[in-house]
Amino acid sequence: MGILRNEFSWSKSRNETFQSCPRRYWFHYYGSWGGWDWQSDSRTRQIYVLKQLHNRFAWIGVKVHKVLEELLHQLKKSKSLPSYQSVAENLQNRLRQDYRDSRDANYRVRPKRFMGLVEHEYQLPVNNEEWR
């Protein structure tokens, strides 16, 4: 793979971000650039890690979309789908593993591999029932 370059570009969404808050624009598009690399400086790494955080509601949405995407690919390939039970168990296992990875702050070591949750990063109190 070639070298990634953060070259200037412009779009409607970039313009809206810039208009709402130039500092947010800088952090989002430039300050976090390269933070996935273990050799990046600590500030860039920190900005990148924080940019990648999700709250528990967005996290579930990301996981559900990923499972649905995989199901559609499987359907296209084999014309059959697994049972609802196996899909639900698969999703639950993924969520549990992600929860443990976030709780253990694995996203700080490998932010491209592990998803971090805002609730863990900022030690927000969430009772066990809300995690179920």
The answer to whether the beta carbons of residues 110 and 52 sit under 8 Å apart is: no
Gyration radius (Cα) of the chain, Å: 18
Q: Record the pTM.
A: 0.85
Q: Specify the pLDDT at position 19.
A: 98
Contacts of 113 (CB under 8 A, 6+ apart): 106, 107
Is the model's pLDDT at 92 over the cut of 90?
A: yes
Rounded Cα distance, 132 and 51, in Å: 25
The structure tokens 């639900």 sit at: 88
Q: Specify the pLDDT at position 4.
A: 86
